[in-house]
Amino acid sequence: MGIKIVALGAGQDVGRSCLIVSIGGKNIMLDCGMHMGYSDERRFPDFQYIGSGNLTHSIDAVFISHFHLDHCGALPYFSEVCGYDGPIIMTHPTKAVAPILLEDFRRVMEAKPGDSAAFTEKMIADCMKKVRGVGLNEVVRVDEDIECKAYYAGHVLGAAMFYIRVGGESLLYTGDFNMSGDQHLGCASCEELNVDVLITESTYGTTVRDSRRQREREFLGSIHEAIERGGKVLLPVFALGRAQELCLLLEQYWDRMGLTTPIYFSGGLTSRATEYYRSFLTWTNEKVQGSAESRNMFDFNHIKPFDRNLMDVPTSMVVFATPGMLHAGLSLELFKLYAPDPKNLVIVPGYCVAGTVGHKIMTGRAKTLEIDGRTVDVKCQVKYMSFSAHADAKGIVRLIEIVKPKSVMLVHGERSRMAFLKKKIETEFEITCFDPPNGVAGMQIY
């Protein structure tokens, strides 16, 4: 029968992950994300490709790999506006966290003049009522034909790689994954599956990252230097994931060095994060699980909630603020305040999509920026230090070695990086590798 895959998002691009897969006579959707670099119709996948009317007749199941908005941000729109009423599958942690991030995004967008989130608070709640949570390594029958199993992906709490089988045809969809553990999560884990196609992210498809320990030293040293010279430090992050890793680093460093400079986290998300990590402790690494009996590692002594009264305080501080790409919200507000002062430091700790302020500054060459109709002088120090929880080229190749797929499809990456990785995979493994752009119909896998 053959497997056909069409990328409605993340085809030769990062953002708006959404794939339509025809497999064994069924049509499934893999992720349903938004593009953080756009505020027009390009924000969401082009659902018109699927058809018109009740889309439940066109899609048999939706699988959400994790709670980041570029993977789940369009889901309330798809279910409540487009009318999809079929099965939606995600892990239990993703089901718990996704509505919180969706509501945070909705509030930020509603507060921006001339913008909106395209869905309401009620739509988010109604959408999540349709979700079926699944456990790690649990074999689940979605209907009489579709079987799935969630494998540990690392990346963020609850992230899963989904193995999906329909009849005699099968695939593994990685979503975002990380083959290296970090301060709070383990590395991705899978087994030999011999799937017909492995659909893998390729965000860092040409990169082999340096030592994490070396990066941690540089990160901590840069922050220490900035506060020693009387500056403020802005760390734009997403609410859960990388933020907790960096919080753990700073908490331990402040203890070792006896520092008293205040560290703040925006939006009350620290307490929320602690709650989620307590609830889903088995999704963390052995170090976090081992410490849980004596002290929860996320009960921070040095990191306090940020109050807006601190916006204009002249003294040094370190602030974690959302969102991570500086496209809206408190992180963008603080950037506009901090950017003109050369004593200040902004560290961009992860990938930023084109079109966001984060992407524009991460090269360190932007001297002025037009933001919301106003010119902002960028005189502060800007550093890009990748604490990205994505697999690098080495990690992607390692996963292929483990899974032993018959073919590979690359998504969630820039075109040039995909082309390099595609050639490498075809040469090393002697299998077909696809890297289609968005909207190319009928990727025939075999």
Tens digits of residue pLDDT in 187-228 = 999 999 999 999 999 988 887 766 678 889 999 999 999 999
Tens digits of residue pLDDT in 307-355 = 999 998 999 999 999 888 888 889 999 999 999 999 999 999 877 777 7
Who's near 55: CB < 8 A, 6+ residues apart?
47, 78, 82, 83, 84
pLDDT-based confidence at residue 442 (cuts at 50, 70, 90): very low
Q: Helix, strand or coil for residue 368?
A: strand
**Considering 201, 216, 245, 414, which one is annotated as catalytic?**
201
Tens digits of residue pLDDT in 94-112 = 999 999 889 988 887 887 7
Average pLDDT rounded to a whole number, residues 125-135: 98
Taking each helix axis as running N to C, give the angle between helix 92-111 and helix 269-279, from 0 to 180 degrees, rounded to the nearest 10: 170
- The pairing of strands 160-166 and 169-173 is antiparallel
The reply to whether 80 belongs to the active site is no
Residue 115 has pLDDT above 50, yes or no: yes
pLDDT at 367: 86
Please name the amino acid found at residue 242. R
Q: Where are the alpha helices (DSSP H) in 304-414?
A: 329-338, 357-361, 393-403
What is the length of the chain?
Answer: 446
| Chain centroid, CA 437 distance in Å | 20
What does the alpha-carbon distance between residue 270 and residue 266 come to, in Å, rounded to a whole number?
A: 8
- Which tokens is 117 given? 């989130």
Q: For 357, what's the count of Cα atoms within 13 Å in the CB-facing half-sphere?
A: 28
Please name the amino acid found at residue 433. C
Query: 313: left (phi > 0), else alpha (psi -120 to 50), else beta?
Result: beta
pLDDT at 209: 67
Average pLDDT rounded to a whole number, residues 56-84: 95
Q: Mean pLDDT of all residues in the chain?
A: 90
Average pLDDT rounded to a whole number, residues 10-33: 95
pLDDT-based confidence at residue 267 (cuts at 50, 70, 90): low
Residue 272 has pLDDT above 50, yes or no: yes
- Select the more confidently predicted residue: 299 or 60: 60
Inter-CA distances, 431 with 165, 196, 405, 445, Å: 20, 11, 8, 11
| Residue found under tokens 């992407």 | 359
What does the alpha-carbon distance between residue 47 and residue 82 come to, in Å, rounded to a whole number?
A: 8
Q: List the single range of 290-304, 334-348, 365-379 with lowest mean pLDDT.
A: 290-304
Average pLDDT rounded to a whole number, residues 54-68: 94
pLDDT at 271: 63
Q: List the single range of 187-201, 257-271, 407-421 with lowest mean pLDDT.
A: 257-271
Q: What is the dihedral of CA 437, 441, 443, 446, to 10 degrees?
A: 180
Residue 446 has pLDDT above 60, yes or no: no
What is the CA angle 170-175-180, rounded to 5?
Answer: 110
pLDDT at 74: 97
- Select the more confidently predicted residue: 386 or 102: 102
pLDDT at 1: 62
